[in-house]
Each structure stands twice: as structure tokens, then as C-alpha cells.
């Protein structure tokens, strides 16, 4: 069992708000094999994604390679979630932006992501978050 699956199985229900410098950045709610991550501060999300890719973008080629690596990692995680019957959603300003895991029902986004375990619910909000 992977770390993602184990974490999903352990989280039965609850809510946590993560703050940075006294500003609410992210709220995580878990219930019934579903985890919703609400981005409250888009700057925090952008900085976190930049740090996760472990590089500053030095041009378009660097950005494309970083996006490809991040998508590959997300695809693996989403497929593990789906196999385990778990769902993770990312929301921003009250709208679901991305659904990963067992409840993802992609239409055209499966062509972009290469998996049926990731659904892009709001491309506009995804771009707004800088993902």
C-alpha cells in the first residue's frame, strides 16, 4: 500500500485549515473516502507548486519539462486513488477545479492528462491558480 493510499484510508473525517503568516492558505476536509482541498490563497498555491517542481522557470522549455514531470506524478497518484476507491478534489473560490481518483469523470481532459483518473472541472480556475 502506497503512502497516498494509506493516508486516504486513515483520514475518516475532519477539517484542517493551514495558515501562513496569519493568512488562511488551504483548507482540507475529509469525509467518506473523499478529501477536498480548498485553495484560499492562490499565491501560496503558486509558491508551493514552484517549490515542488524544485526549479525556477528559466524559459519555456524548462516550464514544459516541469509541467510534464508534475503531470506524470499526478497521474500516478490519481490512478492509485482510483484503484483504492478514494477521491481528492481541489477547489478555488467555491468551484471544484480538479477531481482525481475514483469519482473523476473526464471528458476531453483525459486526452490532455492521459488518464481517466483526472478530471479538469474548471480550466479557467486552473489557469487562475497558475497550475
Q: What is the pLDDT of residues 64-79, one digit of tens each?
A: 555 566 677 888 989 9
**70 or 31, greater pLDDT:** 31
**110 or 101, greater pLDDT:** 101
The per-residue pLDDT for 102 is 94
Contact of 90 with 98, CB cutoff 8 Å: yes
d(CA 101, CA 117): 5
The per-residue pLDDT for 109 is 82
Measured between alpha carbons, how far is residue 26 from residues 2, 19, 40, 62 in Å? 24, 7, 5, 27
Least confident of 9-13, 15-19, 67-71, 126-130: 67-71
Task: Please list the alpha-helical segments (H only) found in the chain.
Answer: 3-10, 42-52, 60-83, 109-113, 123-129
pLDDT tens digits for 34-46?
999 999 998 888 7
Give the model's confidence band at 58: pLDDT under 50 very low, under 70 low, under 90 confident, else very high: low
pTM over 0.85: no
What total number of domains does the chain contain? 1
The per-residue pLDDT for 114 is 87
* Domain coverage including residue 124: 3-129
Question: In this structure, what DSSP letter does residue 99 have?
Answer: E
Amino acid at each position: 500500500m502506497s503512502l497516498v493510499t494509506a493516508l486516504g484510508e486513515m483520514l475518516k473525517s475532519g477539517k484542517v485549515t493551514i495558515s501562513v503568516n496569519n493568512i488562511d492558505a488551504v483548507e482540507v476536509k475529509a469525509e467518506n473516502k473523499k478529501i477536498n482541498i480548498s485553495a484560499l490563497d492562490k499565491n501560496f498555491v503558486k509558491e508551493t507548486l514552484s517549490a515542488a517542481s524544485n526549479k525556477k522557470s528559466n524559459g519555456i522549455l524548462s516550464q514544459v519539462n516541469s509541467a510534464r514531470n508534475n503531470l506524470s506524478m499526478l497521474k500516478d497518484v490519481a490512478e492509485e486513488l482510483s484503484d483504492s476507491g478514494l477521491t481528492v478534489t481541489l477547489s478555488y473560490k467555491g468551484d471544484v477545479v480538479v477531481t482525481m481518483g475514483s469519482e473523476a469523470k473526464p471528458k476531453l481532459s483525459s486526452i490532455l492528462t492521459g488518464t481517466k483518473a483526472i478530471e479538469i472541472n474548471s480550466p479557467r480556475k486552473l489557469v487562475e491558480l497558475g497550475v
